[in-house]
Amino acid sequence: MIVSGRPPQESIRETVELAQICDALGYHRFWVSEHHNSGSVAGSAPEVLLGALAVSTRRIRLGAAGVMLPHYSALHVAEQFRVLDALAPGRIDLGLGRAPGSDGRTAFALNPNAAEAANAFPSQVRDVMAWVSGRPLVANHPFGMITAQPAGASAPDVWILGSSDFGAQVAAHFGLPYCFAYFFSDGVGAEQALHTYRASYRPSEDHPEPYASVAVFVQAAETGARAERMFLGREVWRAERERGRYVALPSPAEAAAYVFTPAEQARREQARARALFGTPDVVAARLSALAEELGVDEIALVTAAHDPAERRRSFELLAGEFGSA
């Protein structure tokens, strides 16, 4: 996240530091996202950032959540992640998404054929899977003789990411792990998408059983009041996003001075009923309950704080609750 009062490039360096901390704390994965032309997220080149993370961490899996495939050729993405796998063998995840991660004009600037490419998303996924794993492409493919280098004994693990039934259907069709962006909609649509995924799952060689995750926004602190104070910044940021303004995450003082409209206040109160913030024991209990309710294998934690120390502390507190340290 880009935060008010500091240049966006600091968010990139803070992300590298956070990955190293999560590696030491025992977290299983560390994913970074892709956004373009955004005043909110400094995530324009996740594959470059992952290269820095690959040489800065020791154990933790690293991945993109995700690469917005319609912007790029399948071969180019496969080659990038083959390079990443060479830097961190057996530790790379390749999350694929269809959304633009930007506005329409920016999507067009990235790829003038982005609209057509979005319709070809399933076939792009099929080709990325083959190239990134070193397996043959489908019969009579025009690029069947091309190999994504550098080849190696290991390969990135491909995921499908989404916030609707479409991504769930693609993941099920190809027998891939699936992560639902729960934090996009405060969970609306999650149960249906996960049901669709499991009901239509086709076993694959790498994943004979469905494997599901949800990405949720969490904020933990030593006291409930402190967690709520930090969570307010996210609420303000979201209200601004719904107004069509992609702004930097406000400071606690800026958030406290923000005036919500009556409609925004009503949506805010409704969303708070499902929000996950508070002391670490409260957040951990709610995460466990959510995992059981949805039957997921993993939960991805999305945390944003104006103060990087507060963000790191949230991950430390939850690691302690789950015993991952």
* Domain ranges within the chain, ordered by starting residue: 1-162
pLDDT reported for residue 99: 87
- Mean pLDDT score, 279-296: 97
| Chain centre distance of CA 262 | 31
Tens digit of each residue's pLDDT (9 = 90 or more) over 29-68: 999 999 999 999 999 999 999 999 999 999 999 999 989 9
Q: How far apart are CA 183 and CA 1, in angstroms?
A: 15
**pTM score:** 0.95
Tens digit of each residue's pLDDT (9 = 90 or more) over 96-134: 999 887 888 999 999 999 888 889 999 999 999 999 999
Q: How many CA atoms lie within 13 A of 224 on its CB side?
A: 5
Tens digit of each residue's pLDDT (9 = 90 or more) over 15-28: 999 999 999 999 99
Tens digit of each residue's pLDDT (9 = 90 or more) over 203-237: 999 999 999 999 999 999 999 999 999 999 999 99
What DSSP character marks residue 211?
-
Between the CA of residue 127 and those of 18, 132, 134, 207, what are the distances in Å? 33, 8, 11, 18
- Mean pLDDT score, 291-307: 96
Q: 178-180 and 61-68 as β-strands: parallel, antiparallel, unpaired?
A: unpaired
pLDDT reported for residue 102: 81
Mean pLDDT of the chain: 95
Tens digit of each residue's pLDDT (9 = 90 or more) over 129-186: 999 999 999 999 999 999 999 999 999 999 999 999 999 999 999 999 999 999 988 8
Whether domain 1-162 has CATH 3.20.20.30: the reply is: yes
* Residue 325: pLDDT over 70: no
